[in-house]
Each structure stands twice: as C-alpha cells, then as structure tokens.
Structure 1
C-alpha cells in the first residue's frame, strides 16, 4: 500500500507529458495532454488512416517503441516509415529497394535511427510475452511505447466482448507495471446513423465498438475526408483534461496518406 505522497513521488516521472509533436499543436490547443504510462486508444471507422497516424505519431516522438502489427505487412510498415522521412510515396521506396546501390542505401539510411521495433503476425498474449522478452534481451530495457494494431486482431477478440475486455485489462496492467505508454487502435461502427450522415467526421464515444473507449485514460477519435484530406481528431475521453464524448469538437489537420504524413493546417 502507498500513501498519496509516496505514490505521487514514485509515479510523477511516468505521468509527465509525452514529447510534443509540433504538427499536433491543434490537438494540444484543445487541452489534450498525452502522458507517459497512459493507455491511449485511437479509434476510427474503416479507412481512416488509424495505422498511418499511429505510426507517424510514434515516429515523430522518437521514443523506443515496440509496434505489434497484425494489420500491416512488414514491407508496408517499413516502407511507410521510409516514405515519411524521404517524402516519397511507397511505390518509389519499392523501386529504390529493388534497384539497389545508392538509391537503396538512401532509403535504409533514412530509417536507420528510427527507434521502432516491429512484431508481425497473429496477436495473442503468449506471442506478445515472447516479443517483449526478445525486446528486453535486445535492448536491455522495456519499450517506452507499445502499439497494438489493432485490438480486434487479438486472437478471439473480433466478436467476443470478454476477450476484448481481457485485452484492455492486460494492456493496462502492462502499462502500470512498466510505465510504458500503450496505444491501442480500435474500430468504430460503420453502420450507425452518424456514420451514414457524417462519414467524414470523427465517431462519438457511443460508436466505438464494445464501448471500450471508456476504459483508457485517453481516447482519440479520428476521421479522414478523402475529398479534402482534412484529418479530424476528437478527444472523446481524457481522465485529466477536457473531452467531448460526442466528438463534435475536433482538431483539424491535413493528411498526406501517400507519404504517411500529417500536418497542422
């Protein structure tokens, strides 16, 4: 057991703000303060660049990250990072890698210092434990950020609420034990009235599947307008700051999906 003072002293470091990304200033202006050690959910409908946004965010923060991907292939994930830093579409990255020589070397150099370690394949807790052990063996420390892409890809979680809650519980326990920021990507309904009436606006908290957006300390809802490439981010849950569960108030950025880049407008 801990007194309030002892608990504050022990956990003050883990509760500090995550490194600020300049292009996320519209989100910070809304009072959103992502913090070390929090469980963060990024939810959105299909095709809203959830994976791209999460990959861009952790790459921009520059913190040691373990990224579990059941949604992207190894080439897609790595080429997106190269695309992000070289400012070239993934097709150009593929040409570089196949052509070899200096062009290939430039692509590899662009991502050499990016502190992201990927784990691909099926998501289940025995596999997660093995990957974490391998990460600690490789780097002699826990990752500062862990990304699960995405929650519904965990074994048995696609339609089983109990399994989904188990994923949330285990992710939260890991964050508490290690102080690692844990980012979970999750789906929102494509069949709700709001999804049909305003498909390019962020979904409200009631549209996130399983009601799971209520569990993390911070839940962000995202949407992409494919016509204007406006990228909208709403804070639908924030334990230590303002939020809007309806997602009617949102920050607006500009997306470059071909380059996996997001910019303040």
Structure 2
C-alpha cells in the first residue's frame, strides 16, 4: 500500500510529459499533454492514416519503442520509416532497395539511428507481447519507453468480441502501470454513423469510437484526413488531466504528407495580392 505522498514521489518521473513534436504544435495548443506511462488511444475511420500518424509520432520522439504492427506489413512499416527519414516516396524507397548498391545503403543508413523495434505477428497475442518484452529486457536491461499496438481489433479474439476488446484495454493499462511505458493503441471509429456521411473529413466524436473504448485510456485522440486538401485534423476527445471535447468539434489541424509519411504545421500567412485575406499554407517538411 502507498500513501499519497509516497505514491507521488515514486511516480512523478513516469508522469512527465512526452517529448514534443514540432508538427503537433496546434495539438499542444489545445491543451493536449501526452505523458509517460499513460495509455493513449488514436481512433479514426478507415483510411485516415492512423498508422502513419502513430509511426511519425514515435519516430519523431525516437524513444525506445516496441511497435506491434499487425495492420502494416514488415515492408510497409520499414519503407515508411525510410521514406520519413529521407523524404523520398515509398515508391522511391522500394525502387532503391531493389536496385541495391549505394541506393540500398542510403536507406539502411537513414534507419541506423532509429530506436523502433517491430513485431509483425498477426494476430497479436499476449504471449507474444510477454516474449517480446522478455527479449527487450534481455538486450537492454530495461522496459521500452513506448509500446504501440496497431491495432486493437488485431488482437487475438478481439476482431468483434466486445468482452475481449475490454480485456485488451484492461491489460494495456496494467502493462503501462507495471512497466512505466506509454502504451499507444490504435482503434477504429464507425464508418456507418450519420456524421461519417455528412462530415467525413472531420474527426469522429467520442460516441462514434467502436465499443465506447475511447473512454478507457487517459488520453484519446480522434483523427481524420481530408483527401483533397490533405489537412489532418486531430481532436482530444478524452483527457484525464486536461481539456477535451467529446464532440470532436474543436480540433487541431496540420498538414499530412502521405507520400512520405510526414506531418507538418500549418502557417498563417497573408496573401501579398490581397492583404486582408488569410490563407493557410504549409511550412514545408521538417528536417530529416
């Protein structure tokens, strides 16, 4: 048993904020404060770059990360990382790896400093999670700082079973508390809700997240991609230690670059030909 003072002393370090990512400036401006040791959900409809968003986030933080990727293949995940690091498209990465020689070495060198370790088993099982964690401890004598599950419905038995999905969320919470790792879990929102048809490019509200499971994590983010403008919208629909909007009507906007799996800030500039007109334009890609 722990009294409040002892609990605060022991866990103050694990509750500190995660490293900030420059592209997420608008999200932080909403009061979003992701922390070490939390369970974080990223929820969105199909085709909204959830995996790309999660991969970019952990790559930019570059903390020791164990990424369970049942949704992305080994080539897709690794080529996205190489694309992100070099700003070459995934098609260029694929061609370069096939060409071999200096092209292949360029991409391998770009990934040399990455702290992400992948596990590609599908479906994800808790036995596999235990085995990967044991191997991690054997190699580095500590737990990973971040564990990503992509995604919740790719866990064994959780494809459509609500009870099993609840068990996954419960186990994810236990994992975060036992290891101090930030657990990021991806999940789907309904494609059949009325809002999915009337406002398909806006983030889904909390009640549209399948199974109501966005209420379980400390932080739940709702994401959407406008395929025409490539604006990426992120709403904070649940935050235990800060502001949130369950309706997802208040959201941060950034630019998505899907061809290189990158995100960047939107910058407010005045058009030189029309001084009173405000126009949003991207700042450009971040340095690799």
Q: Tell me the TM-score normalised to structure 2 length.
A: 0.91
Moved over 4 A (4+): none
Q: Could you list the per-position Cα deviations for residues 131-171 of structure 1 after superposition, in whole angstroms to 9, with x for gaps in the alignment?
A: 11112222221100000000001011011011001000111
- Mapping 1:105-254, distance limit 5 Å: 105-122=105-122, 123-254=124-255
User: How far apart are the structure 2 equivalents of 1:139 and 1:161?
Assistant: 36
User: How far apart are the structure 1 equivalents of 2:41 and 2:258?
Assistant: 21
Shift of 1:101: 1.1
SS of residue paired to 2:37: coil
User: How far apart are the structure 1 equivalents of 2:84 and 2:191?
Assistant: 29
User: How far apart are the structure 2 equivalents of 1:208 and 1:138?
Assistant: 37
User: How far apart are the structure 1 equivalents of 2:27 and 2:203?
Assistant: 14
SS of residue paired to 2:185: strand
Shift of 1:125: 0.8
Corresponding position of 1:2? 2
- Cα RMSD for the two superposed structures: 0.6
Corresponding position of 1:54? 54
> Does residue 42 in structure 1 map to residue 54 in structure 2?
no
User: How far apart are the structure 2 equivalents of 1:263 and 1:192?
Assistant: 29
- Mapping 1:44-83, distance limit 5 Å: 44-83=44-83
Corresponding position of 2:286? none
Q: Could you list the per-position Cα deviations for residues 35-79 of structure 1 after superposition, in whole angstroms to 9, with x for gaps in the alignment?
A: 000000000000000000000000000100000000011010000
> Does residue 24 in structure 1 map to residue 24 in structure 2?
yes
SS of residue paired to 1:41: strand
User: How far apart are the structure 2 equivalents of 1:78 and 1:234?
Assistant: 28
User: How far apart are the structure 2 equivalents of 1:115 and 1:140?
Assistant: 15
Shift of 1:103: 1.0
SS of residue paired to 2:88: coil
SS of residue paired to 2:259: helix
SS of residue paired to 2:164: helix
User: How far apart are the structure 2 equivalents of 1:98 and 1:128?
Assistant: 32
Q: Tell me the TM-score normalised to structure 1 length.
A: 0.99
SS of residue paired to 1:5: helix
Shift of 1:100: 1.1
Q: Could you list the per-position Cα deviations for residues 199-255 of structure 1 after superposition, in whole angstroms to 9, with x for gaps in the alignment?
A: 000000000000000000000000000000000000000000000000000000000
User: How far apart are the structure 1 equivalents of 2:159 and 2:107?
Assistant: 36
